[in-house]
Amino acid sequence: MDHHFYSIPKEPVNWAGYKFPSSCIGVDGIYQAYRYLYQNSSNYKSFANSENTILLSKLKNSEIMEEIIYEVGESYR
């Protein structure tokens, strides 16, 4: 049986009618980056609500990340 493991949690938009069996296994660096961004965001601070869990929106994660990255970049500058 084929199964795809991927490290960045993102749903492909081009799987019309069929989704290949897959699991997100993550990478610690990506986890730490998401945690840092969430903890430094005024709107999404609650998404990093415990020491080993972060919440990701299945539908709007890209938009949320763009907003947070812009916010953190502006505060850094």
Q: What would the pLDDT profile of 17-70 be if each residue is shown by its tens digit?
A: 667 777 777 777 778 888 888 888 888 888 887 777 888 877 888 888 899 988
Dist. CA 68–CA 65, nearest whole Å = 5
Ranges of each domain in the chain: 4-76
Question: Residue with structure tokens 């049986």?
Answer: 1
Confidence of residue 11 (pLDDT cuts 50, 70, 90): low
pLDDT of residue 17: 67
* pTM passes above 0.95: no
Dist. CA 1–CA 47, nearest whole Å = 34
